[in-house]
Every structure is written in structure tokens, then in C-alpha cells.
Structure 1
Amino acid sequence: MLTHVIERILQALAVMLVMSALVFVGVYAIGNPIDVLIGPDVSQDIRLDTIARYGLDKPLWEQYFTFLDRVLHGDFGRSFVFGMPVLELILSRLPATLELTLAAVLGAALVGIPAGIYAGYRPDSPLSKLIMALSILGFSVPTFWIGLVLIMTFAVELQWLPAGGRGETARLFGVEWSFLTPNGLSHLLLPALNLAFFKLALMTRLARAGTREVMLTDTVKFARAAGIPESVILRRHVLRLISIPLVTVFGLEFASTLAFAVVTETIFSWPGIGKLIIDSIQSLDRPVMVAYLMLVAFVFIMINFLVDLTYFALDPRLRKGRA
């Protein structure tokens, strides 16, 4: 087990190093942020001084190694637009996106997995057919369209929920959270629901397919022959056997939602890192763009690492294989 963990850590470090080079070159080789930072009517001396101040007069490879040295010391540079450390800027927006992501993915899992298990256990019931029809709808309808419908229905027509913003927040462990206040929770519901639709459909269909497969195995047949109650079979056998693919999808969906909640944050004016990266792309704020993409790579690597460790906890065959 320890050997496996060390191997995965070394692989993660190698991937992060490669990703840092690809991200840096890809971002810094495109566009010229000086055209955005200063006006076209400034003198050539001011223009050259600005280029030198941001280190853009150096070769690209030298800029990369300077960047890598700063990163190793915990410094991702300063934002061209906001004029503050990039890491501080991203961390100030991260709780909003993390809160939205957790609400969406956890909600989708808590509803989708039981619904999928029921649909797989009773495939011919009317409720199961309704569940599968709704899951198809979740796959088919674009996220931005669902967001607009939610705003028109619940914010404009019914006026039950606010159309955008984060609302009031409360501090917990030194971080501001919306779900701790009634007003903030009302602002959280619509964007979380918008993000959860696709995840809900995916979790439902995956749980349904896994349940249908497991119900035909000898394990379930022998359990039924032994007189074990159906509730126990579903809890101890079916859920346990389908847990590994569910954990995999949950981890990947959490990482992708955390990294790419751009559309939802834009529609609902949610002040997270997704909206920040859109603003940074428009202004060619290179340090923010690079740090954001590095964060995305780090999140995916860490989620895969945690999912891999969860496999060992769920499947004893893997532990025996490493023994």
C-alpha cells in the first residue's frame, strides 16, 4: 500500500511538471497583454518600461523557469488587472465555486443513486420508466438553457428565488459561506440545481445499469435462496458491488464541475473562479490564466489519487494483489 502511494505521488509530480510547461507556453505564446494594460497612445518609453516590469522582454524559456522558481516558493505572480497576488485572488473566489460544486454533485449523488438503484431493481414499474425518461432529458438539454428556464420560472414568473448573485454569507473557519444564511441559501439553490441536472442523469443511469447487472449475478441469487431480505441484499451486495464505478464517476464529476462551472457562474453571476477566468481571458491576465489551469490540473490529479485510494478500501482484491 505504501509503495503504491509513493508511486502515485511521483507520477502526480511528473504530470504537474509537464502540465506547467504546456500551460505556460500555451498561455504566454498567445496575444499581447500590454495592448490591454496600456493605451495605444502612450510613448514608446512607457511601453518598453511596462514590458520590462512584467518580464515580458525575456525569452519564453527564461520566463518559464522564472515562473517555475516562483511557484516552488508558493508565488504565482501578481494579476495584471487586479494588482494583487494571483494565489490570494483565486483563493478568495474558490469557496464560492467549491460551495456550488459540493451542493450540485452531492445533491445529484444523494438523489440519483437511490433513483438509479430503484430503476434497476424494478425496471418495469411506471416510476422506473419515468426516472429513465427524466435522465434522458438531463443528458439532452444544454446547461445554459436549463439555467435560463430556471431563472424565468422561479425568479421572474414565480419570484420565489433570486436570479443571481451569492447573497448574504456567514463566516466559518475564516471563510465566507452562503449556505449558512437563509438569504445565501436561496441564492445557492438555482445555480446548484442547474449544475446538478447532468450529474443527476449520469448518476441515475450508471446506478441503474450497475444494479441490473448485479441483480443477475450468482451472488444475488444465492442471497435470495438463503432467505436474506431484499433490503439487505440491496444494501450489502448491490450497493457494494456498484460502488467502485460510482466512486469513479463521482470523483471525476466533482473535479470537472469545480474546474468548469463557467457557464453556470456566468448565467447566475456567481462570484467564483469560473467567472474570474472568463474575465481574465478577456483581459489577457496571463498569471491568473496560468494559475487557474494549474489549479485545474492539480484538482484532477488529487481527485484521481483519492479515488485510487478509495478503490483499495472498497475492493479487497486490490489489497491482496499489492500484498
Structure 2
Amino acid sequence: MFAFAVKRILQAMIVMLIISCIGFAIKHNFGDPVRDLVGQRVTPAERAEIREQLGLNDPFLVQYVRFLGAAAKGDLGLSYFFKKPATEVILKKAPATLELVFCAALIITLLSVPLGIYAAIKPKSLLSRIVMGVSTVGVSMPVFLTAILLIYIFSVELKWLPSFGRGETVLLFGWWESGLVTWDGLQHLIMPSVALSSIMLPLFIRLIRSEMMEVLESEYVKYAWAKGLRPRRIWWVHAFKNTLLPVITVGGVQLGIMVAFTILTETVFQWQGMGSMFIESVERSDTSLMVAYLVFVGFVFVLVNTAVDIIYGLVNPMVRVAGRK
């Protein structure tokens, strides 16, 4: 198991190296940060001096090696617009995005598991047909359209929920600005988290249903029925436990995707998280902040997938054997 974990960690480091190279190449060729940093009144000579001070005239390889050395220390560059370290700007915006992803993942878990199991146990019932029909529509509907429909129904027509912003937040642990501990913050969180969960919820319902139906046809489940075990024990202990393996694998990948997909959700709801920060950095040609965001999101992807691979290897030893082969 130790060799398996080391192999996955080395693969993760290679992937991060590739992500950093792609991100830095975008920074090297996208826009002119000096122009957006100083405005139009600065003379060309002063601009050339600033470029020299920032190291923007150095060859690409020299700049990239310097970037890697700083990134290893947690320094992803200086935001040209905020005049602050990019890591500091991202960490300030991260709580909003992570809380949104957490609530969306909670909604997905609480709804997909019972609905997927019910649709597998009683595939011909009316509720199962409705669930599968709605999930088909949900897979086809883009998240921004879902968000706009939620705003129209619950904010414009019914006037039940606020349509934008984070609401009242409280500072926790000295740096985490949270809306989960205030009623106003929770009200503002409902629609964005529901909209974000609509991306993955239909997928997980269909995945759990298909895996559960396959497991229910296996020999050991038929043997459990023959022994006279209670249906609930067969469904939850024998069947659902073995359904979780592929769900964990897909869930790890989709969790990273949700972090990236918050860009659309945060834009519609004016949610001040990392997604809206990235859009603003593109508009301002703040290339340092763009690269820092790409590296951070890539790190989340790699970290989650590496953790899932290691957990999957612990749960299923056949994965470790296949990896050695």
C-alpha cells in the first residue's frame, strides 16, 4: 500500500507541474499587466523600467523557474490590481466558494442516495419514473439557466429568498468569513447551492441507480435473499455498501469539477468567491491572479483525486494489484 500511495503522489506532482507550466504560459502571453497596473499617463520609459523591475523582460524559462521556486514556498505572485500577494487574495475569497461547494455536496448526498436506491429497488413505480425523467432534464439543463429560473421563481415572483450576494457574514477563526452561522447568510446560500448541486445531482442519482441495480442482480445478494435476511439489511448493508466504490471514485472527480463550475453560479448570483474573482482578473488582465487561481483549482483537483485513489486502494485491494501490474 505504501508503494501504491507513493506512486499516486508522484503522479500528482507531475500533473501539478504540467498545470503550472500551462498556467504560466497563459500568463506569459495574455495581455500587458504593466498597462493595467499603471494606467495611460505613465511614459514608455517608465513602463519599461517597471517591466524590468517585475522581471517581465526575462526569458520564459527564467521566469518559469523563478515562479516554481516561489510557488514551492506558497508564493504565487503579486496581484497587479489588488497590490497584494495572489495567495492572500485567493484565501480571502476561498471561504465563500468552499461553503457553496460544501452545501451543494450536502444536497447531492442527501438527495441522490435515497432517490437512487429507491429508483433501483422499484424501477417501475411512478416516483421512480418521475425521478428518472427529472434527472434526464437536469443533466441537459445548464447551471446558469437553472440559476436564472430559481431567481425568477423564488426572488421575483414569490419574494421568498434574496437573489444576490452573501448576506450577513461572521468572521471565524480570525480569517474565515462565514455565512453559515447567520440566518441571513443561510438564506442567501440556499439558491446558489441548489443551482450548483443541479450540475451533479442528476448524474449521481442515475449512477447510484445503475450500480445498485447491477449489485442487486449479483449472486451474493441472491444468496442473502435465500437466507431470509430482512430487505432493509440486504439493500443497505449488502447492496449499497458495494455500490459505494464507483460512487466514491466519481464523487472525487466531480467535487473538483464543482469548484471550477462555481464561476457560472457565482456570476449569476454575484457571489463574491473565487469564481467571480477569476472573471474580474480576466477583465483586468491580472495575469498573476489568473495563474494563481488556475494553480489553486488544479491543486484541489489533484489533491481530491489522489486522496480518492488512495482511499479506493484501501477499500479495494484489487486496485493496488492492478496498479503494480
TM-score (norm. length: structure 1): 0.95
- Show CA shifts across 1:243-290 (max 9, x none): 111111211111111123100001001110000000001111111111
Are 1:249 and 2:250 matched, yes or no? yes
Mapped partners of 2:42, 2:270: distance in 1: 35
Structure 2 counterpart of 1:38: 38
Shift of 1:314: 2.7
CA distance in 2, matches of 1:316, 1:14: 25
State the partner residue of 1:127.
127
Deviations 1:177-211 (A, max 9, x none): 11111110000000000001121101100011111
Distance 1:291 1:219, change over 3 A: same
1:322 and 1:145 map into 2 onto residues whose CA distance is 42
Paired residue secondary structure (1:260) = helix
Matching residue of 2:306: 305
- Structure 2 partner of 1:111: 111
Which sits farther off after the overlay, 305-314 or 265-274?
A: 305-314
Identify unmatched segments of 5+ residues in structure 2: none
Shift of 1:321: 7.2
1:195–1:264 CA contact under 8 A, matched in 2: yes
The CA RMSD over aligned residues, in Å, is: 1.7
Partner Cα distance (1:228, 1:96) in 2: 46
Instruction: Give the CA deviation at 1:91.
Output: 0.4
1:54 Cα offset (Å): 2.1
Per mean C-alpha deviation after superposition, the further-off stretch among 66-75 and 125-134 is 66-75
Q: How far did 1:322 drift?
A: 8.5
Structure with the larger RCO, 1 or 2 (CA within 8 Å, 6+ apart): 2
Counterpart code for 1:198: I
Q: CA offsets per residue over residues 143-194 of structure 1, 9 Å max, x none?
A: 1111111111111111111001001122333312111111100000000000
> Could you tell me which amino acid in structure 2 is paired with residue 257 of structure 1?
M
Indicate whether 1:145 and 2:150 are aligned.
no
- Contact (CA 8 Å) 2:8, 2:309: kept in 1 or not? no
The answer to whether the 8 A contact 2:216-2:239 is kept is yes
Deviates more, 1:46-55 or 1:286-295: 46-55
CA deviation profile, 1:18-45 (whole Å, cap 9, x unmatched): 2212221133122222232233443222
Alignment check: 8 A CA contact 2:30 2:285 kept: no
Closer/same/farther in 2, CA of residues 67 and 321 from structure 1, 3 Å limit = closer
Residue in 1 that maps onto 2:264: 263
For residues 142 and 320 of structure 2, what CA distance do their matches in structure 1 show? 41
Alignment partner, residue 284 of structure 2:
283
Q: Cα–Cα, structure 1 residues 60 and 318, in superposed 2: closer, same or farther, change >3 Å?
A: closer
One-letter amino acid of the structure 2 residue matched with residue 188 of structure 1: L
Q: Which residue number in structure 2 is paired with residue 194 of structure 1?
A: 195
Same amino acid, percent of matched pairs: 39
Residue 318 of structure 1: how far off its partner (Å): 4.3
| Contact kept in structure 1, 2:144 and 2:265, CA below 8 Å | yes
Q: 1:167, 1:183 within 8 Å by CA — same for their partners in 2?
A: yes
Is the partner of 2:3 in helix, strand or coil?
helix
